[in-house]
Structures are given as structure tokens and as C-alpha cells.
Amino acid sequence: MNKKKTLGLSVYIIFLLLPIYWLLMMSFKSNSEILGGLSFWPDTFTFDNYMTIFTDPTWYTGYLNSIYYVALNMIITLTVALPAAYAFSRYNFMGDKHLFFWLLTNRMSPPAVFLLPFFQLYSSVGLFDTHIGVALAHCLFNVPLAVWILEGFMSGVPREIDETAYIDGYTFPKFFAKIFLPLIRSGIGVTAFFIFMFSWVELLLARTLTSVDAKPIAAVMTRTVSASGIDWGVLAAAGVLTILPGVVVIWFVRNHVAKGFALGRV
Amino acid sequence: MKKTKSNKAWFLVLPVFILVAFSAIVPLMTVVNYSIQDIFGATRYFVGVEWYREILNNSRLQDSLVRQFVFSGSVLLIEVPLGIAVALMMPKAGKWSVVTLLVLALPLLVPLNVVGTIWQIFGRADIGLFGWGLNALGMDYNYAANPMDAWFTVLLMDVWHWTSLIALLCYSGLRAIPDAYYQAASIDRASNWAVFRYIQLPKLKSVLLIGVLLRFMDSFMIYTEPFVLTGGGPGNSTTFLSQALTKMAVGQFDIGPAGAFSIIYFLIILLVSWLFYTAMTHGDSK
């Protein structure tokens, strides 16, 4: 039974990793080698594709822009979602159920629906082509999700802890920051992971709301297609570099995520 | 858990409310506004439900709606069982469980257009292992020319990208089951199937609800991946709703019909999500 499990899992993991491996190998090949035939390992290792990206400001600012607005989005989302999730998990208040449902409906609205009005609204208030603009737009789907996940984690913390802290003379902000947040650290790790993921992978809104100054890497990548065909090597290298920040994030939050997932309260 | 009644809690929720309302209500109102007017430069006419009627009778859109439902249905039918199976196979603790978690999370962190790019390369017969392999096996596989192959590739791509989400959620649900349940089951000599059916599956219900809803919503809104991979073709065979809508709003600038389309689109997602939600939580009230 156990051998079967390991085998099944291995097959699945190979299925997951093979396309990524293929992309990685391609990024180290020259274009003539890529088009010359299939090989599992580059004949001549070349870093030319990466050099192209690291020496051209239009390329690497794309990465910086994406990282910048994703980080902003994570900060904004967690700042507003933490107190709100606390309110939903601890209190009954006027319209709470309706509000919660309304928040979730925003997760359900296709970005394609809002493209044009978003463009007009953000242009009219001067947020067009700014990092904060993209970060705010991504809050539309990330905040509801963050509230939803955090609320689950917070409900797992017994109320008695709150009450004891208040009796001991803690004020709400002090209790929240010093006692409550450390208790749900893993939950915050899991939430941060999801916020990062959905903001990092999103392209449609990010592309519509930017033109030059805050252009995300995903939009820059279309540059590899030119009249002379697609520059496969640079495209592959750019793709590999978009995966790296995700790997870094997940490496840092790995223990929290593993613990958070193990708590079973996602 | 019993909750305290207090309207002061509104102060904690207010920032979220303001932030989301800014990005949600104004654009939604704008879309509603478009959908009931004929805007032609500076002149606007009120046309009522005219655009809605036009949209509902548009056969191209009906086709992409059907396509969309078939796609989302297939995605759920493949990814949910597969995700549960993967979660059951994952090691329960130790170093390997962290490693598997990390590997599983990897596809989730790939930007949507890069997912498209990866499969665009991987599926090509000349430079991609997958396309080359299928052709070497004697299959005439070409996702750019053959609608069936395009469909197959888009589906496979989605399974590759998102099954991990279901698997991770289910893994977290499985970890929450106390050992005592399994001990009781082994005393009763319950079969593996019985353990799954009567212990694990019921406990997975709440995480599966999140997983199914997220997968339904996102697969129903899919845009970037097929756009990069096939551009909606060959023909219109992989043109899903989002792409049809973007074509209409940005390509042809028919903002009236596009507005009506948006509202209908949104309402369908809302309705189906609500149906899932009610169906899956119905058992709890009994």
C-alpha cells in the first residue's frame, strides 16, 4: 500500500516538474540549439539569455515593478483584513452576514468585466500607471479571500484568551499585536502565501492599469515576439525568472505554511 | 462559538469596506450604466434591456457559454478527485511532507501568462518534449491546428496548474482529523474505502467547499492561459467567455452590449457559486 502511494505521488510530481524542467533547460540554450532538435541537457551552456534580461532596463524594471506592487498589495491586504477578520470571528454586528457575502461576491467578479470602468476610474483619480494603483486593484480579489481564510484561523483561537487579556488590563491594540497575532502566526503565513500567489500571477488588470512606469514583467514578456519570430531562449529565461520570486517566498514561509496547513484551518 | 453582539465591530471592518467598495461599486455602477444606454460619442440614448436581448440571442456568445460550462465542468470533475487522491498519497509528517508541499505549491506560483508560455513550448512538436513525444508515439498531435488537441492541451494545462490547490487544501483538511478516529476505525477493521468514505471525506467537506468554489470561479473566468496558448483558436474552439468579452469591449468597443454581457456573466457566476454553496452546506443543517 505504501509503495503504491509513493509511486503514485512520484508520477504526479514528475508530471508537475517536467514542464518546468523543460523551460529551465531551454533558458540555457541558444536559439539555434533550441530549434535544432530535442535534448534533455544543453550541449553548450549559455547565460546569454539571462544577460540580455539583466542588462536591459526595460526587462529588469518589469520584475521590480511586479515585486513592488505585489509587496504593497500584501501589506495593504493584511493591514485591513486582520482587524476585519477578527471582527467577523468575534462579534455579531449589524449586517455582518450580508457584508461577508458581499465581500465574497467580489472574488467572483471576472476581471474582464471591470477592465474598462477600472481604467476610467483609476485614470480619473490619478492612479493609472502607478504601483499603488495596481496594488489597490488587486485588493478587490485578495482582501475578501484574506478575510475568509483568516477568519477560519481566528475562530480556532478560544475566546477565553481575549477575555483573560482584557481582565489583565490589555487594551485592544496591545492585545491584538502582542498576544493575538503571534497565536495565529501560521495562519498569517498561509494567508500571505495566497495573497502573494494571486497578486503575482494576475496579468489582465495589471496590464490594463499600467503603461510605462509600473508595467509588470508579464506584459514586458510580449517583447520577445518580433517580426523575425519568437526569441525562445529569452522567453524561457524570462519565464524562469518569474518563477524564482515565488520559490523564494515559499522557502521563507515553508514552516508556517506547513504548520498552517497542518492545523487544517484553511 | 458564541459571539458578542456589538456594532462597534464595524470600526474594525470599515477599512475593508471602504477599500473594496472603492474598487467594486463604482466600476459595477459604470458597467450597469453602459448596459442600458447606447453611447455614441457625446450622445447617449436610454435603450433599456435592448442590449441584454441582443446578447442573449447572440449565437457566438451562446457557443462560448456552452464551451465555458463544459470546460469548468471538466476541470472540476478531473481536479477534485485527483486533488483528493494526491492529498491522500502525501506523507503525513517529516522532511518529505515539507518537500512535497513545496513542490506541489510550485505550479501555483507561476504567473498565468508564463503557464501559457510553458505549455506553448512544451506542447510544440518541434521544440517541446510533450508534443514531440506524442508525435513520436504515432499521434498526429498539433494544438495550433486541431480543435480537439487544443482543448486537450488547455485542460491538461489547467490540471497541471491548479490540481495542487485542491491537493493542498485537502491535505490541510486531512491533518485536522485526530488519530483517535483512525484507531477506532482499525479496531472496527474498517476497509480503506470505509475509512475514506465515512471518516476522511466528511471531514474534508469544508476545505472542499473552498476548493470547489475557487476552482469554479477561476476556471469560469479563465483568460490569460488559453489566450497565450492558442489565442482562442483554432477557429473559436477555445474562446471562453472572458476572451469573448474582452474582444467585444476592447477590440470592437461595443461597450453597451459588453456591459450587458458583463452583468449576465457576473450573475451566472454568482448563481452557480450560490448553488454549490447551498448544495454543499445543506447537509449541515439537518
Cβ neighbors of A133 (< 8 A, separation 6 or more) are: A122, A127, A209, A210, A214
Confidence of residue B132 (pLDDT cuts 50, 70, 90): confident
Top pLDDT among B49 and A141 is at A141
Residue A75's pLDDT is 94
- A114/B223 Cα distance (integer angstroms): 14
pLDDT at residue number B158:
93
pLDDT given at position A81: 94
Q: How far is B251 from chain A (nearest CA, A)?
A: 12
The pLDDT assigned to B71 comes to 93
Kindly state whether B12 is in contact with chain A, defined as any CB-CB distance less than 8 angstroms: yes
- A112/B221 Cβ within 8 A: yes
Residue numbers in chain A where pLDDT is lower than 70: 1, 224-229, 257-266
Q: Measured between CA atoms, how close is B24 to chain A, in angstroms? A: 7
Hey, is B189 helix, strand or coil? Answer: coil
Band of pLDDT at residue B40, cut at 50, 70 and 90: low
All domains of chain B, ordered by start, with CATH?
27-57+254-286 (no CATH), 67-239 (1.10.3720.10)
Contact criterion met (CB below 8 Å) for A207 and A66? no
B121 touches A: beta carbon within 8 Å: yes
Interface test mutation site (partner A, options B35, B114, B186, max chain A beta carbons within 10 A): B114
Q: What is the ipTM of this complex?
A: 0.82
pLDDT at position A226, please?
64
- A chain contacts of residue B176, beta-carbon cutoff 8 Å: 263-265
Of B13, B31, B34, the CB nearest to A87: B13
Distance (Å) from the C-alpha of residue B6 to the closest C-alpha of chain A? 5
Are B210 and A106 within 8 A, CB to CB?
no
Which of B112, B243, B255 is nearest residue A116 as measured by Cβ atoms?
B255
Q: Quickly state the pLDDT bin for B169 (edges 50, 70, 90).
A: confident
What is the mean pLDDT of the segment spanning B22-34?
83
Report the pLDDT averaged over residues B42-48: 71
Whether B108 contacts B165, CB under 8 Å: yes
pLDDT of residue B79: 94
- The CATH code belonging to domain A56-263 is 1.10.3720.10
How many Cβ atoms are within 10 Å of B126's Cβ, its own excluded?
12
What's residue B162's pLDDT?
A: 93
Given its phi and psi angles, is residue A126 left (phi above 0), alpha (psi -120 to 50 degrees) or beta?
left
More confident position, B206 or A240? A240
Q: Is B246 touching A (CB cutoff 8 A)? A: yes
Q: Answer whether B132 sits within 8 Å of A113, measured CB to CB.
A: no
CA distance linking residue B190 with residue A164, whole number of Å: 44
More confident residue, B252 or B154: B154
The DSSP line for B196-229 is: IIIIIHHHHHHHHHHHHHHHHHHHHT--HHHHHH
Residues of B whose CB is below 8 A from A236 = 121
| Chain B residues within an 8 Å CB radius of A34 | 127
**Across all residues in chain A, what is the average pLDDT?**
84
Question: Chain A residue closest to B110 (CA)?
Answer: A243
* pLDDT in the model for residue B76: 94
Query: What integer pLDDT is reported at residue B286 of this predicted model?
Result: 39
* Partner-chain contact B117 A18, CB within 8 Å: no
Which chain A residue's Cα is nearest to B208?
A266
Mean per-residue pLDDT, B53-76: 87
The C-alpha cell 519570430 sits at A229
- Looking at residue B285, its pLDDT comes to 45
Q: Which residues pair with B46 in a beta bridge?
A: B37
pLDDT tens by residue, B99-118? 888 888 889 888 888 888 88
Q: How many CB pairs under 8 A join A and B?
A: 278
Percent of chain B with pLDDT over 70: 96
Determine contact: B264 vs chain A, CB below 8 A. Answer: no
Nearest CA in chain B to A134: B23
- Could you tell me the three cell numbers for A101? 457575502
Contact present, A246 and A197 (Cβ < 8 Å): yes
